[in-house]
Amino acid sequence: MATLNLELGERSYPIFIEAGAMNNAVRLTSFIRGKRICIITNDVVAPLYLESLKSKLAGFDVDDVILPDGEAFKNLTSFELIIAHLLENEHGRDTTLIALGGGVIGDVTGFAAASYQRGIDFIQIPTTLLSQVDSSVGGKTAVNHPLGKNMVGAFYQPKAVFIDIDSLKTLPVREFNAGMAEVIKYGILGDSTFFSWLEDNIDLIKAGDENTLASMIETCCQCKANIVAQDETEAGVRGLLNLGHTFGHAIEAEQGYGNWLYGEAVVTGMVLAAKLAVAMNLLEVSDCRRIEALISTFDLPITAPETMS
């Protein structure tokens, strides 16, 4: 098990990384200060983990909201469904929300927690690779709007993050590969040693080797925690974490949210950013080719949709 800490003064919190992390009832419940819990999940994750998680929360009053799966449902409608459920079931300020799912669930749950009665506690239990290495850490919560991605939200930190490596065993290969987009990003962001490590461990990563995945996830989370600790609200250095996202968000918006997976759009954006850097004499052609080669190894796209100018 690895335990990291994101240092933000009074808003600091731990990140637990281990196989079976969501099954540690004693540790999980130590971050719940009231008696009421609402689990937010989706219709893909719920059949896999919801009842098991509820069984670890004996003694608490637990209910749930099950949203449809997919980026297309990261919107104000889903946000309003959560808020309505909390009001209808008379949840108070001592309720804790638990986000059980990928990045969409984590983002919309965090935004609901930030907004309900001006702020209640929430815990992240990310179940996809992308959410484990990126979106569950750092407190950026938001929903999409037809006119722009992540345009309605808040910076709001969880009380803890429980990264259960076992959940990756049920993740479809395409979703796992899309998560590698954010992993590779951390290798590009000034950590050439980690980039080389990824090149050297491709087979073990694809095979789902537990120790390899744990080490990889820990490195990514530590990198993000270090950056967020310096710049929580993205006024400066945290902007580095948006590598490839400017192009990627444009691809998502043009193609329609969910037609390209978020990670697929971002990784293509990273290649476009690398090519732009080469054109501006900021990056060697050989480095751009290494980036493309590593991305292609995980069957990810490296060219923008043909329909886009």
What is the total residue count of the chain? 309
**Alpha-carbon gap, residue 51 to 245, rounded angstroms:** 35
| Residue 135 main-chain phi, psi, to 5 deg | -70, -25
Q: Which CATH class is domain 172-297?
A: mainly alpha
What residue has token string 């537990």? 210
Residue 264: pLDDT band (50, 70, 90) is very high
Residue 84: pLDDT band (50, 70, 90) is very high
**Alpha-carbon gap, residue 229 to 237, rounded angstroms:** 10
Angle at 201 between CA 166 and CA 71, to 5 degrees: 50
**Alpha-carbon gap, residue 252 to 103, rounded angstroms:** 15
**Alpha-carbon gap, residue 309 to 307, rounded angstroms:** 7
pLDDT in tens, 163-215: 999 999 999 999 999 999 999 999 999 789 999 999 999 999 999 999 999 99
Residue 149: pLDDT band (50, 70, 90) is confident
Please state whether the predicted TM-score (pTM) of the whole model is above 0.85. yes
Closest CA to 14 of 164, 124, 179: 124
**In the chain, which segments carry CATH 3.40.50.1970?**
2-167
The percent of the chain in helix, strand and coil, each rounded to the nearest 5, is: 55, 20, 30
Give me the CATH topology for the region 2-167.
Rossmann fold (3.40.50)
What residue has token string 């590598």? 243
Residue 2 is predicted with a pLDDT of 92
The answer to whether 27 and 56 are in contact (CB under 8 A) is no
Q: What is the CA radius of gyration of the chain?
A: 19
pLDDT in tens, 250-262: 998 888 877 899 9
**In the chain, which segments carry CATH 1.20.1090.10?**
172-297
